[in-house]
Amino acid sequence: MNIHEYQAKQIFAQYGVPTPKGIMAESVDDAVKAAEELGGPIWVVKAQIHAGGRGLGGGVKLAKSIDEVRTLADEILGMTLVTHQTGPEGKLVQKLYIEDGADIKDEFYLGIVLDRAKEMPVIMASTEGGMEIEKVAEETPEKIIKVAVDPTIGFQGFHGRELVFGLGITDKDEQRKFIKFASNLFQIYMDKDVELIEINPLIRTGAGDFLALDGKMGFDDSALGRHKDIEAMRDESEEDADEKEAAQYGLSYISLDGEIGCMVNGAGLAMGTMDTINYVGGTPANFLDVGGKATAETVAKGFEIILKNPKVKAIFVNIFGGIVRCDRIANGILEATKMVDVKVPVIVRLDGTNAPEAAEILKNAKIDNVIAATDLLDGATKSVEAAKGVK
């Protein structure tokens, strides 16, 4: 789960990670009130959406008067912001963050993620703040310092020294401030089951202070149960409606660009099914894992969600029954055709536990647009062929 910048900064404040002062606003009037409260003389009006690249997309602007705050708030609030992370459809701006302008001397990057190879958190820092870090990693990887921290010992002084010397911070007072900053940020990462924290840019002011000018945070979904405070920060309007609806029924769904809807059990086989459709010349319309507890209701829901996409010309149901018994899936498909009006061809491949019983159930049902397939390749091929026949 991701949160907004203003929420990340609330957490930063709890842990003593310094940020400029700011106030969230959901209307132009509130934005003006916030600006008056902050006092100026310079404000930054920032769109709050769950995506990076807001500045380049026109979602972050500087204001030098209260009037300008009003004009900018009016302009940004309600706009559809398109950045390299939103996709071409962009994201509607529903919240603003009005922040004190800062005296920027230098811009750094600071982030913490899990290093999957070392199996411990790694702090990443760079003097190339304000740029896309992926680009820095690609073009000038030597400009990113990586310090892995064994969580059993926690953030120690030497970790901090590796960071400040690596970044070329030489003033002793500044070194102390930066190490404190990084140490507090690491504590947030550990305490809150964070998946990713990124501050880009982290600035050094003319007075030699370090401030988090931005804040991006994502959390381990599996750990949200023990963080009610974080769970309360969920902004459902930022999440894909179909993915969210699917999740309520225990389905894992991701929409794609193609024509063949997929319903599969298991994430690996679901990806393998998409790859196979691609391999035989078709295009997958979605990723859909029905999970281990598929019932008639969840399968029907799966059809419903797949069919919301008007591009879908055929549906390939590919089930290898281990935990999910094939006869149950077969019954689910039959139930689903009663509950949802499925007009496109449905290609069904059921293998594994109780596959013969499932084949029998489907055969006896005698439904016109249900086509049986013998294996994965056969199913993918028949799906691609069936999709060609659908206008």
Partner 1 sequence: MSILVNKDTKVIVQGFTGKEGSFHAEQCIAYGTNIVGGVTPNKGGQEHLGKPVFNTVAQAVQATDATVSMIFVPPAFVGDAVMEAADAGIELAVIITEGAPVKDMMYAKMYATKKGMKTIGPNCPGIITAQECKIGIMPGNIFKKGNVGLISKSGTLTYEGANQVCNEGFGITTAVGIGGDPIIGLSYLQLLPMFEADEETEAIVMIGEIGGDLEIQAAKYIKENITKPVVAFIAGQTAPKGKRMGHAGAIVSGGAGTAKEKMEALEAAGVKVVVSPAEIGKAVKEVLSK
**SS3 sequence of 82-135:** CCCCCCCCCEECCCEEEEECCCEEEEEEEEEEEECCCCEEEEEEECCCCCCHHH
Continuous H helices in the chain: 5-14, 28-38, 66-76, 133-139, 157-167, 172-191, 228-231, 241-248, 267-279, 296-307, 326-339, 355-365, 376-388
Q: Does 256 bind partner 1 (CB under 8 A)?
A: yes
Q: How many residues bind partner 1 (CB under 8 A)?
A: 54
**Which of the stretches 26-34, 61-69, 295-303, 317-325 binds partner 1 when contact is defined by CB under 8 A?**
317-325
Asked whether the beta carbons of 5 and 46 are under 8 A apart, the reply is: yes
- By CB under 8 A, name the one of 7, 126, 265, 331 that touches partner 1: 265
Cα separation, 108 vs 210, whole angstroms: 10
Minimal distance, residue 76 CB to partner 1, in Å: 24
**Which of the stretches 4-12, 170-178, 180-188, 271-279 binds partner 1 when contact is defined by CB under 8 A?**
271-279
Residue 253 appears among annotated catalytic residues = no
Asked whether the beta carbons of 325 and 351 are under 8 A apart, the reply is: no
Q: Does 122 bind partner 1 (CB under 8 A)?
A: no
Q: Does 190 bind partner 1 (CB under 8 A)?
A: yes
Cα separation, 125 vs 112, whole angstroms: 9
Q: Give the number of C-alpha atoms closer than 13 A to the C-alpha of residue 225, restricted to the C-beta side.
A: 2
Q: Does 348 bind partner 1 (CB under 8 A)?
A: no
Partner residues linked to 210 by β-bridges: 204
Q: Does 195 bind partner 1 (CB under 8 A)?
A: yes
Residue 181 buriedness (CB in 10 A; 0-12 / 13-18 / 19+): buried
Q: Does 278 bind partner 1 (CB under 8 A)?
A: yes
65 vs 156, beta carbon nearer partner 1: 156
Minimal distance, residue 377 CB to partner 1, in Å: 4
105 vs 118, beta carbon nearer partner 1: 118
Prior bond of 201 cis (ω within 30°): yes
Minimal distance, residue 380 CB to partner 1, in Å: 7
Q: Does 220 bind partner 1 (CB under 8 A)?
A: yes
Minimal distance, residue 266 CB to partner 1, in Å: 3
13 vs 377, beta carbon nearer partner 1: 377
Q: Is 27 helix (H, G, I), strand (E, B) or coil?
A: coil
Candidates 109, 189, 249, 253; catalytic one? 109
Candidates 99, 128, 195, 198; catalytic one? 198
**Which of the stretches 140-148, 199-207, 214-222, 304-312 binds partner 1 when contact is defined by CB under 8 A?**
214-222
Q: Which residues of 118-136 are buried (b: 16+ CB within 10 A; e: fewer)?
A: eeebbbbbbbbbbbbbeeb
- By CB under 8 A, name the one of 119, 139, 231, 360 that touches partner 1: 119
**Which of the stretches 37-45, 66-74, 173-181, 222-230 binds partner 1 when contact is defined by CB under 8 A?**
222-230
Q: Does 200 bind partner 1 (CB under 8 A)?
A: no
Residue 198 appears among annotated catalytic residues = yes
Q: Does 269 bind partner 1 (CB under 8 A)?
A: yes
Q: Does 193 bind partner 1 (CB under 8 A)?
A: yes
Residue 344: φ, ψ to 5°: -80, 160
Return contacts of 90-95, CB within 8 angstroms, 24+ apart. Answer: 91/49, 91/50, 91/51, 91/238, 92/49, 92/237, 93/47, 93/48, 93/49, 93/59, 94/26, 94/48, 94/237, 95/4, 95/6, 95/24, 95/25, 95/26, 95/47, 95/48
377 vs 390, beta carbon nearer partner 1: 377
**Which of the stretches 25-33, 201-209, 231-239, 279-287 binds partner 1 when contact is defined by CB under 8 A?**
279-287
Q: Does 287 bind partner 1 (CB under 8 A)?
A: yes
How are beta strands 252-255 and 260-264 bridged, if at all? unpaired
Cα separation, 204 vs 125, whole angstroms: 14
Q: Does 134 bind partner 1 (CB under 8 A)?
A: yes
- By CB under 8 A, name the one of 78, 141, 322, 389 that touches partner 1: 322
Q: Kindly list the catalytic residues.
A: 109, 198
Query: Which residues make up the interface to partner 1 (CB under 8 A)?
Result: 85, 114, 116-117, 119-120, 133-134, 137-138, 151-152, 190, 193, 195, 220-223, 225-226, 252, 254, 256, 264-272, 274-280, 284, 287, 289, 320-323, 351-353, 375-377, 380
